[in-house]
Structure 1
Amino acid sequence: MNHSRGLFGVLGLSLTVLCTAMSPAQAQDSYPNKPIKVVVPFPAGGATDILTRAITEKLAVRIGQSVIIENKPGAGANIGAATVAKAAPDGYTILMGSIGSHSISVTYHKDPGYNFQKDLMPISSAGSLSNIVVIGNDVPAKNLKELVAYAKANPGKLTCGSSGTGGLIHLTCEMFKIAAGIDVLHVPYKGTSLLMPDLISGRVTMALDTLPPYMPMLKDGKVRALAITTAKRSSLMPDLPTVAESGYPGFESVAVYGFFAPAGTPTAIIKKLNADINAVLLDPELKDKLLKVGIEVEGSTPEALAAFVGKEIAKWAAVIKAGNIKSE
């Protein structure tokens, strides 16, 4: 009897070890078999949140599992990103990242709490928001050339508002100042919603902000758009020229968003997430829904997203250095 118990005990232990050894592969094969959490490093109700919820609603149906949104704003989106970077690399905690914000933080913040390229793995891009050069009606310029001429004739008179120091909107303004060789004072606000009334009233003269919040005001003639910062013209405002074609070749700033997973997440899981997300992004209903609020959706391969991240980090590092911009 003792020998039998010993034999069965050894067999039981062996089976336990075997099952444990097999579990990671089994987990990948059956992925996902429980809800997925997507961390949004911005407050609820913003563009990133709207984009994430629209995509994950469709994604949940496709994968047959719930997708839970967790908003973790703060520190220029670094709190949410750091949370995902430190999460278990099992595909059940992923990030909807603002590539512009995170690429800037690599250089701008001394210690963002994580390494964007080493601690996070790209899954797929998700969508983008166009930025526009928008001015108040008191500024006597009908196009970008006239705006630059006015700025040079009136050094220090123009002010450029942003939703906060060190963000994509601030850095886009700095990049334009450098490209155009003009003197413009940066005025930071705690969000676009606080900036817009001052732009209308003339307390601040211009902004290089995301397009969607300004669309109603542009329609009502309360402010004017002179150019768009994307490489190509936007389908939202096809008559609006780009900054590049207005005399500054190569100028591009776009708020691109993408999904990321903790480093070490199995390749099979990354591939499955990429395939499912890209399939969802092709949904005509989703595209139309998001385009109405100014968001253009587009997927990518993980490799293409990684290459874009590297390009953005180099671009914004150059702007930060040239503008001698220091973190607060």
Structure 2
Amino acid sequence: MNKRQLLRAGLLGLSALALAGAGHAQDFPPKKAVTMMVGFAPGGAADAAARLIAKKLGENVGQTIVVDNKAGAGGNIAHQLTANGPTDGSMLLFGSIGPLTIAPHMMKLPYDPFKDLAPVSGGVHFPNVLVVNANSGIKSLADFVAAARKQADAVSFASTGSGSASHLTGELFAQAIKAEMLHVPYKGGAPAMQDLLAGRFTGYFAAPPTALPHIESGKLTPLATTGLVRPAYMPSIPTVAESGYPGFEALNWYAFVAPAKTPTPILDRWNQEIVKVLNDREVREALGKLGLTPHPTARSELTDFMRKESAKWGAIVRERKITAE
């Protein structure tokens, strides 16, 4: 093969690569319905936010987006299914703080959040709110702490699963008040809330969308929120930080990720579309009514954020000697 033939072959090869890349880009949106995985049962915060976002996202890209709830193992089941899912852009995961940044420090997982899942965009974040049954006799955070300090495990708290944000928030709080509380894991916010209303445990660091209707109806008593400042939708409820535990902060969050081998052009397109939805005025207002703050990010920003969160919660897991139940 002479030089001219070599040059021609090289140019043809580059053209083929360019066309292949363009082909991937043109496969957006995917020709088949898109699945948005959620790791918790219907009715909780993750489900409410995912369905709201999925509806607008589907309208914008012109493709059906089906929310698929795969509850269990603190959300890890949905994350594993996504890690092993189709890489054509037809699967997204509304991933959560627990499986993405906490669970890897507690157990050996069949997936690596930083290797088997690709960041797409931040989703939403919010503080939890510590609530108790209105008939519990507990009227303030001081009452709750006093009950917890009487004896180990005298107070119980629910979570959306071992290693979830609500679980680690409870552990962080137990550390702050120097008391031991009994952890009661559930498969999602909705079933945990049902049992709190039935009086089957003491308290729950709940997501606002799950708790607000029952606070407004008078069935639950809110004691404190877990951010550094009071949320605009709960202005009368003090934070843990201002109630005698300065610096206490535990935010819950959800972010969009996809199977790691999804082509970069498709991941970039999903990022653009999700950021667009999260910046939409109507979507932001609807999420705000649920007590959720939109958190759109660049893909690289989400990676950095996840690594910082992983370091923070990994330290709590080690200090509290938390293991999978």
Superposition TM-score, scaled by structure 2 size: 0.83
| Unaligned segments of structure 1, at least 5 residues | 1-13
SS of the aligned residue for 1:177 comes to helix
Q: Which residue of 1 aligns with 2:243?
A: 246
Moved more, 136-145 or 210-219: 136-145
Structure 1 residues 212 and 34, CA, compared in 2 at 3 Å: closer, same or farther? closer
* Match 1:32 to one of 28, 33, 45: 28
Using the TM superposition, give the Cα deviation of residue 74 of structure 1 relative to its aligned residue in structure 2, in angstroms: 3.3
- The match for 2:118 among 97, 118, 121 is 121
Partner of residue 47, structure 2? 49
Query: For the residues of structure 2 that align with 1:255 and 1:43, how far apart are their CA atoms?
Result: 17
Paired positions, count: 315
Matches within 5 A, 1:65-214: 65-110=63-108, 112-137=109-134, 142-153=139-150, 156-196=153-193, 198-200=195-197, 202-214=199-211
Q: Aligned in 2, Cα 1:272/1:326: closer, same or farther, shift over 3 Å? A: same
- In 2 relative to 1, CA 267–204 (structure 1 residues): closer, same or farther, beyond 3 Å? same
Structure 2 distance, partners of 1:27, 1:286, is 31
Change (3 A) 1:40 1:157: closer
CA RMSD across the alignment: 3.0
Asked whether the equivalents of residues 117 and 257 of structure 2 are also in contact (C-alpha less than 8 Å), the reply is yes
Q: Deviations for 1:34-92, whole angstroms, at most 9, x for unmatched residues?
A: 34433333344443233222212222232233334333333332222222223354433
1:5 corresponds to: none
Q: CA deviation at 1:321?
A: 1.9
* Aligned 8 A contact 1:78 1:113 in 2: no
Matching of residues 315-326 of structure 1 within 5 Å: 315-326=312-323
**Rounded Cα–Cα distance in structure 2 between residues aligned with 1:82 and 1:76:** 12
Deviation at 1:230, TM superposition (A): 2.1
In our comparison, the structure showing a higher alpha carbon Rg is 1
SS in 1 for 2:162: coil
1:318 & 1:325 partners in 2: Cα distance?
10
In 1, distance between residues paired with 2:89 and 2:189?
Answer: 33
Output the amino acid matched with 2:286. Answer: K
1:274 is matched with which residue: 249, 271, 274? 271
Cα 1:22–1:66 change in 2 (3 A) is farther
* Residue in 2 that maps onto 1:7: none
Pair 217,60 (structure 1): closer, same or farther in 2 beyond 3 Å: closer
**Residues 40 and 48 of structure 1 are in contact (CA less than 8 Å); yes or no, is this contact kept in structure 2?**
yes
- Cα deviation for residue 159 of structure 1 reads 2.1
Q: What is the rounded CA distance, in whole Å, between the counterparts of 1:269 and 1:233 in structure 2?
A: 38
**Aligned mates of 1:311, 1:120 — CA distance in 2:** 17
Tell me, in whole angstroms, the C-alpha distance in 2 between the residues paired with 1:265 and 1:297: 24
